[in-house]
Amino acid sequence: MLAVCRRTEKLVGSVDISGSKNAALPVLSACLLTDDKCVIRNMPDLEDVRIMFALLRKMGKTVKFENNRAEVTGQLRHGALPEKLVRKLRASVLVMGPVLARLKEGSFALPGGCALGERPIDIHLLGLKAMGAAYSILRGRMIFKRNVLKGAHIKFSFPSVGATENLLLAAAAASGRTVIENASVEPEIADLCLFLKAMGADITRTGSVYTVKGKARLGGADFAVMPDRIEAGTFILAAASVGGSARVDSANPSHLGALLSKLRAAGVKISQKENSVTVNSPKKIKPVNIVTGPYPAFPTDLQPLWAVCMMRASGRSQIRDKIFPARFMYVDELKRLGASMVLKNAVLRINTSRLSGTNIYACDLRAAAAMIIAGLMAEGETRVYELKHLFRGYENFFGKLRKLGANVSMERIREEK
């Protein structure tokens, strides 16, 4: 599939944000910690979520999914993850913690790199090792064995979101007390902790330190996933970039602090209520620099969308990504539209740009959304290929954009003549 975008003068109206992908994935993994029934509502209908369902099924679980409600039942039987699924979903590493909490062994295909650059899992592995899991690598697989998974005092070298989740999952059902220092505090982790507590886990957090008292048995739970702050940020930035006035509903503004303050600094009018954000984009916006970092700093996932927005600012701005310093693969594609950008020493400098449509190729999930929004700003027609990336993480993206008046459609790719 490809996206066909035409210049759109403004976005007007309102959109509803779906459940959070990055909260849904660890919550699904947490279902492996019990054989009781778990019901998860507000589950976004996404490719990544469906791959996680396939992983759970592979391990013995039954998953039913209808109208954004997932029901997970059945026993965890196997702890072996096939390479095909692991390659499709990096977040599949999140099942390591629960598998090792419940089974004496597990084997996982190595996740490998991705379009955001090198993505090691050493912090996950050091934590699991400290808890008593030994592993070796054989023919591209990590083979884990443990006697007892026991609580440990772990200090992360860097606050990794995935490692924090994996270790919390393992610790919730391990024997004894685990302390995780210098951990991540992203809202999606708070959501995972809420779900784990609903299952009976004992978790407390003080600053960036989590303390978990492991429980021999965790039960089922009925839970609703938080709204997707990255999807909310995407639509907020779409309105700020294209122009107009849009209300983004079912969003939690308190999760979007860094983005909203940067937009205000750029001159974009923002008003917020408890569950919605309204954006009024002026004719001219000011250039504003960003540096991404662990929450509550500016999220790396919104960095490509910020770059697109800054192309219409009157002056030069810059982006430094401290989480994924190589996350600039989209720059060359945007240049094909006429983006005036220079990437040097891992800093992207963005100048005011006049865009005109052509064919471009999405390289990852957030870059795909950024390119489609750039296509709405460009003169003429922009065709964005490789939409498979977009479907991994945005539910009904085109329907939502069209509801705001965006001139965008999806087409099947026809064979070249």
CA distance 121 to 331: 27
Task: Using the minimum distance from each CB to ligand UD1, give the nearer residue, 72 or 163.
Answer: 163
Stretch that binds ligand UD1, among 161-169, 172-180, 302-310, 311-319 (CB under 6 A): 161-169
Interface mask toward ligand UD1 for 90-119; x: CB under 6 A: -x---------------------------x
Interface mask toward ligand UD1 for 36-75; x: CB under 6 A: ----------------------------------------
CA distance 376 to 237: 12
Binding-residue total with ligand UD1 (CB under 6 A): 18
CA distance 130 to 111: 21
Nearest to 290 by CA among 338, 322, 268, 315: 322
Task: Using the minimum distance from each CB to ligand UD1, give the nearer residue, 220 or 233.
Answer: 233
Long-range contacts of 216-219, Cβ-Cβ distance < 8 Å, separation of 24 or more: 216/173, 216/175, 217/34, 218/33, 218/34, 218/172, 218/173, 219/34, 219/36
When binding is defined by CB under 6 A, the residue of 122, 222, 379, 411 that contacts ligand UD1 is: 122
> In whole angstroms, how close is the CB of 295 to ligand UD1 at the nearest point?
7
Q: Is 363 a catalytic residue?
A: no
Does the footprint of ligand UD1 cover residue 324 (CB under 6 A)?
yes
When binding is defined by CB under 6 A, the residue of 79, 97, 162, 253 that contacts ligand UD1 is: 162
For tokens 């099942």, the residue is: 95
CA distance 90 to 73: 24
Task: Using the minimum distance from each CB to ligand UD1, give the nearer residue, 162 or 233.
Answer: 162
> In whole angstroms, how close is the CB of 165 to ligand UD1 at the nearest point?
7
Does the footprint of ligand UD1 cover residue 160 (CB under 6 A)?
yes
CA distance 230 to 234: 6
> In whole angstroms, how close is the CB of 412 to ligand UD1 at the nearest point?
29
> In whole angstroms, how close is the CB of 356 to ligand UD1 at the nearest point?
31
From 5, 31, 38, 114, active-site residue: 114
Task: Using the minimum distance from each CB to ligand UD1, give the nearer residue, 235 or 312.
Answer: 235
Nearest to 23 by CA among 327, 314, 230, 309: 230
Q: Which residues from 10-39 bind ligand UD1, rule CB under 6 A?
A: 22, 25
Does the footprint of ligand UD1 cover residue 123 (CB under 6 A)?
yes
CA distance 377 to 305: 13
CA distance 383 to 260: 30
Task: Note whether 397 and 373 are within 8 A (CB).
Answer: no
* Torsion-angle region of 57 (φ positive above 0: left; ψ -120 to 50: alpha; else: beta): alpha
Stretch that binds ligand UD1, among 59-67, 157-165, 191-199, 377-385 (CB under 6 A): 157-165
Strand extents, DSSP E, 266-305: 269-273, 276-281, 290-292
Tell me the catalytic residues. Answer: 114
Which residues are near ligand UD1 by CB under 6 A? 22, 25, 91, 119-124, 158, 160-163, 300-301, 323-324
